Structure 1
């Protein structure tokens, strides 16, 4: 194919470059959610009142009697950051594609393509959210769509650093079951968190409808699921004690504890202080870090082997083939 020949002309990225691209994908997918929270807490969600234009007849912010200029630029700036996420997604695809052409890595290529695919999906959902005037459930969907993209970005990062062999489990079936339960609890925490946000004071615009439910009850449910998450995490750790898990897995396990407890403490402080704007964005960042840490733990519980030698040392691989 012509496209394959063009990609094949690109230099084969080193392991360091592949790792950097994977990290960039994780940062981009997590970062766009944090900047989106800034839009929400500053009441700038309808700073640009339509989509894909900012104001009817203009792609950029303009003087408007109903929308403050600063709010327009905050919302417009967040939209422009989507361009950075797109650029990183395209870079991830090109990097994975070039590696795949050197040594077939179909799984890696599929993971890379989820990045631009996710950006397109997020753009559509974001447009629907604006057109729906930031109804709380559309904002919830907009956030929840971003969470699996963070997870997939972590898988992509590991994909660059590992092979495509069938996964060899490093933990027994019972530990794997608790790890799966941990992931389910994590998604439940995220869903419950969106209901607290939906009933809370920061809707992105002063006139948007809020979830008509007692926020105290929703917050208790949210925190209760976090307690379940921590209990499952503790039981998972106990199963590891009986298996002689590798040190790398223990380190990741410790990071999950650190991030999850810090996120819980932040949530309590945020609620006690009346949900100040800055802590809301920090809490969203904490959510992203919990996803990243849990996904890294998931990946650390299995081994897919080392990347093919040709990915790392293309010249030496060619020489060995010639010598054989």
Structure 2
């Protein structure tokens, strides 16, 4: 295959390059959500009133009597940032592809890498629907929620670059594994509930867009209540870890989740008390991304897939070989 032979001519990516590409994927997937929130809170969601063009007949902002130039450029700038995400996604695929040419068994790494450009295409389609639907609150919610599994997958991709392809060997007791799954479900429930609060809130992306007709106080209480559930499950997960011999790395990831989740909860409370100021909205979106990243990192630290580049030699087997040899 021509493309395969072309990629094979590239130098084998170093561990530093692999890690850098993985980190870039996480930053890109999380960052595009934050920049999207800037578009929303500044009321620039319809600065470019069509898609894929900005204004009918023009791909770039043009002088228009109904659409302020600043709003056009904010929305257009967010579309340009999508180009950065595309470049990072392409680098992820090429890096994983080059590694798989020398290590054909790394199919999982390649599959994870391909989710990055696939996610860009999906987000472009959903983003276009959002604009064409005049920023109806539920389309904005879908646009945000589509980005959340992409952030999760980017974290898995980062770890896939640095770990092996063995069958996962869980480092936590069975009860802790069940609690970890529950924690992930609770996390996504919080994110979904958060979109309803946003849908009923004052920042719709455009002054004329329809808002969710529901009491925001009730929606905020549900959102906050789900965070309490998340923290309770996180507490039980920590207690379950005490029953096993969890590695130090796992405890560090666990502590990081607590720090991020508590900071996000405090930020949400302050945001609500101050009447949802624009700057705090974008910080809260950033906090949501960090909750996903930290929870995904905790998930990855809870199991062992061996060492990158080695196949079929689990950590326990390597330790036994080291002890006897």
Asked if 1:76 is matched to 2:76, the reply is yes
Instruction: Please list the CA deviations of residues 156-201 of structure 1 after superposition, one character each: whole Å capped at 9, or x if unmatched.
Output: 0000000011000101110000000000000000000000000000
* Residue in 2 that maps onto 1:157: 158
Deviations 1:79-103 (Å, cap 9, x if unpaired)? 0000000000000000000000011
The CA deviation at 1:41 is 0.1
Cα displacement (A) at 1:308: 1.2
Cα RMSD of the aligned pairs, angstroms, is 0.7
Contact between 2:164 and 2:310, CA under 8 Å: does it hold in 1? no
- CA displacement 1:59-97 (0-9 Å, x = unmatched): 000000110000000000000000000000000000000
Inter-partner Cα distance in structure 1 for 2:52 and 2:26: 26
Matching residue of 1:50: 50
Counterpart residue number, 1:198: 199
Q: Structure 1 runs of 4+ off > 2 angstroms? A: none
1:167 is aligned to 2:168: yes
Q: Distance in 2 between matches of 1:306 and 1:244?
A: 20
Aligned match of 2:38 = 38
| Runs (5+) with no aligned partner, structure 1 | 311-324
Taking the aligned partners of 1:4 and 1:282, their CA distance within structure 2 comes to 42
Pairs within 5 Å for 1:10-49: 10-49=10-49
Distance 2:200 2:11 in 1: 51
Q: SS of 2:60's equivalent?
A: coil
* 1:86-132: CA deviation from partner (whole Å, max 9, x where unpaired): 00000000000000001121000000000000000000000000000
Structure 1: distance between partners of 2:57 and 2:83: 21
Measure how far apart 1:309 and its partner are.
Answer: 5.4
Residue 316 of structure 2 aligns with which residue? none
Q: Could you tell me which residue of structure 2 aligns to residue 233 of structure 1?
A: 234
Q: TM-score with structure 1 length normalisation?
A: 0.95
Whole-angstrom CA distance in 2 between matches of 1:70 and 1:288 = 27
Task: Map residues 1-324 of structure 1 onto 2, 5 A cutoff.
Answer: 1-104=1-104, 105-308=106-309
Deviation by residue 1:119-149 (Cα, 9 ceiling, x = unmatched)? 0000000000000000000000000000000
Question: For the residues of structure 1 that align with 2:87 and 2:208, how far apart are their CA atoms?
Answer: 34
Alpha-carbon distance between aligned partners in 2 of 1:290 and 1:179, rounded to the nearest angstrom:
14
Task: Name the residue aligned to 2:318.
Answer: none
> What is the distance in 2 between the residues matched to 1:176 and 1:21?
29
Q: Aligned equivalents of 1:31 and 1:72: distance in 2? A: 20
Which runs of no fewer than 5 residues in structure 2 stay unpaired?
Answer: 312-325
User: Structure 2-normalised TM-score?
Assistant: 0.95
Aligned length: 310
